[in-house]
Structure 1
Amino acid sequence: MLVLMKTLHLFGLMQGAAGGMAGAMVAVQAKRAGGPPPPALIALRQTFALVTLIGVLLLWATGLWMWLVDYGGAMLGTAFALKILAAFIILAVVIAARVAMARTPPGSPPPGWLQRAGPLSGLLTYVTVALAVYVFR
């Protein structure tokens, strides 16, 4: 069962990263369009946000399961706490982005804070993975 959870955890990591990277590329192309983005780009932006959210939720579900089963829910030190904090911020950004995009009228750009939060969540992804490698080495 642990092998299955680790496999699903890696799938969640790949899905979350792929959705985030694809969403960033769509945002760059929409900005380059120099006017309202084409409807196809708008549809992709929402789809990639959903893909990212599902990946991050899969990471949380499998990660919490493995932590409870393997470590009994024990606190694993400062690096683990920082990893959880960074992962929580990523989850909050992804959920907020999904909500913001659902509320944004079609054809309009996402809110300014969202354009700044995307790169932050990308950086936090690297930090989270590095801390996970350190904690679970």
Structure 2
Amino acid sequence: MSRTDRSSVEESAQQWFERYATTFIELAGSGATQAASLLGYFAVPLTMTTSAAHLTLTTTEQLTAALGQELIALREADYGSSQALDQVVRALNDRSVLIEVTWARYNRSGSEFQRTRVLYLVARTADGWRITAASVLAP
């Protein structure tokens, strides 16, 4: 993969990730708890890790439930919006990138209530870019 190709892969993934972020922020900001509009951004199976747990979601139903739980938690936190900070997109090859981003989350009054750094492994599948793994990084 040449430098130009890497740049093209990164730009394509970046544009896709911006659409994902906008979709997620709008959905969560509306107070919705149904995750159907997010499913097209994820691959199944999906691996997720935090300092507390490792999950492998092997069905669409499991993914839907996990995303729904996240949306419920945000609604309960009076979520208003998020901002993607310090975003880095790095092509690994023609079909995969790492996207590392800090999510700053704000409540409806505009106060930040959470800041989390997440590393996403994203693959270009037959259906387009999809998150295949996500890891919440230690603070």
Normalising by the residue count of structure 1, what TM-score does the alignment of the two structures yield?
0.35
Larger helix percent = 1
Question: Max radius of gyration: which structure?
Answer: 1
RCO higher in 1 or 2 (8 Å CA, sep ≥ 6)? 1
Normalising by the residue count of structure 2, what TM-score does the alignment of the two structures yield?
0.34
Larger strand percent = 2
